[in-house]
Structure 1
Amino acid sequence: MASSPLVARVRGRQGAGRNALKAHDVRHHHPAAVAAVVTAAIAAAGKAAGIGLAVGGAPIPVAGFATLTVIFSVVGLVLALVLAPRARRPRTVFVRTTLVLTALSLVPDVLMLTHLAAAAMVIPAIARRRAA
């Protein structure tokens, strides 16, 4: 972790490490939070327009879109962390893997747009932080 500029700056300060590292963590989660709000807004707009938000007959609450976006963003982050030491080109492998998984998750209704919106925000944000 010494390669991170934030960690290098933090190590140079006494007592600032814990707070500075928390700020660093929040920054990594920010794209997932934005994606969660966007997917919930898309779902709410779809519901208001009369588009059904059900899978297999079970309705999905609007907040469920935000929750699952955050959960699967964390899954994406874990995937990136697992790939980092194993792949020769972790960013490329991560982007290709997540694009394939995103394509597989698409179903022909409002879910498609929410998946694409979340993926468009979260994949590049995580990929920028991975080694090429």
Structure 2
Amino acid sequence: MDALENTKHRILIVDDDEELVELIRDVLLRDGRFEVRTVNNGFEAGMAVKEYHPDLIVLDIMLPDINGKDVCQVVRSDPNMNDIRIICISGMVEEDRIQELKAVGADDFLHKPFEIEQLVDRICQLLDIPSRSHV
């Protein structure tokens, strides 16, 4: 097997909803193709992104300290992080807010609540890997 095939994709989950974080983490770890780190606020997200350099961030917009839009802007302002994909998640539904997020660098957006399989499919799409639900 090629060494690249053994490399796990690094995912950073940023959300203050502990149950949702645990669910996403468990599903991704069970999949076997992902290494997962979690944080529950924007400040920790900023530090974790620099230290961990994930392949993809699942980023809640409504965080207790710094909002997800600001985290997105910080990631996109650093040229060393251009390769990081960002999926924003939130219960908000205003289309103009979603467009603002995409304008500052979000690659995708999912409305809460969502099916976990839908999130995994989007992660696979952005990382250009086959989705298990389509295998």
Q: TM-score, normalised by structure 1?
A: 0.25
More helix by share: 1
More strand by share: 2
Higher Cα radius of gyration: 1
